[in-house]
Every structure is written in C-alpha cells, then in structure tokens.
Amino acid sequence: MTPYLILDGEMETALTFAAKRGVKVQIILPHIPDKKYAFALAKSHYATLIQAGVEIYEYTPGFVHAKSFVVDGYKGTIGTINLDYRSFYHHFECGVYLEDVPAICEMVKDFNQTRALSQQVTLEDVYREKKSTRLLGWFLKIFAPLM
C-alpha cells in the first residue's frame, strides 16, 4: 500500500519481473489523490505493470496514506517509505522491518480489508483514461526524481 507510485526504471522492472515469475504482486493506491500531478505520474506506470500481471487497486472511499508491504505472509515493512524515487534515494525515511511476528497477520488483515473497499484497475480502465491525463503522466516522468 502506498499513496504515491512514482517508480524509477529499476523498481518498475523489479515489480514486473516478479509478477512475470508468478509472484502475486498487489498494490493499493488512493482513488482520490491529494496531489494530481503525482497521481497522473503513478497512472503512467499502470499499463506496464498490469500487462506484467501486477494487480493494481484504487481505494475508493477516500485517500489512503498507508505505507506498508507484506511478503509471503510472514515478512513486512511499515513506515514512512513511499514507492517513489525521493523515498528511495533522497529522503531519510523510517520503516520497521518485521519477520515472523503476530503484527504481520494484522497487516495482512488490514491490506485485505482495504483491498475489499478498492476497485481493481484493468487495462481497459487505463486506456479509457483521458488522453490529457495520460500525456501529462508520461511528460511528468522527466521530473519524477523531483516529485
């Protein structure tokens, strides 16, 4: 779960390769953004990720600001780390790595409850997006390291 999905090439490749290997990769983002430019940029990654098998969900009741991930149901991270360039390379983010602790079950439960309130994004949804939004997202990739 992340409020911002501003991927560099390495992270996009890692996510797509994982999905193509059969790893179940699911990402929840807000459906109602707080930053329209960041949201347009996030959407510019959707087609590539979905075509590779990544499942993208948008939380429809409001803005989701959680930043967490769980791997294989027993490892996870929760903290301030967004899935964006600045969090990976510029900011001093804070996260807690958890392994084999009861809190992981709660994180999985929270993810599943949030996903149940979300709509899955399909390729059809991506291609129905306004052309102006799609062009803006692609243009903003130039500035992604600054966002």
- CATH number (domain holding residue 48): 3.30.870.10
More confident residue, 125 or 140: 125
pLDDT at 91 over 80: no
Tell me the two tokens of residue 118.
């979300």
pLDDT at 38 over 90: no
More confident residue, 58 or 133: 58
Count of domains forming the chain: 1
In the chain, count H helices and then E strands. Answer: 7, 8
- CA 89/CA 127 separation, integer angstroms: 31
The pLDDT assigned to 29 comes to 95
In a domain? residue 68? yes
Instruction: Specify the pTM.
Output: 0.87
In a domain? residue 147? no
The pLDDT assigned to 61 comes to 93
In a domain? residue 70? yes
CA distance to 27, 63, 67, per residue, from 5 (Å) = 9, 14, 11
In a domain? residue 65? yes
- Tokens 């600054």: give the residue: 146
Q: Which residues form the domain of 90? A: 5-142
For residues 48-58, average pLDDT: 97
Q: Compute how many other C-beta atoms are within 10 angstroms of the C-beta atom of residue 23.
A: 13
- CA 128/CA 125 separation, integer angstroms: 5
What pLDDT, in 10s, does the model give residues 93-115?
888 999 999 999 999 999 999 99
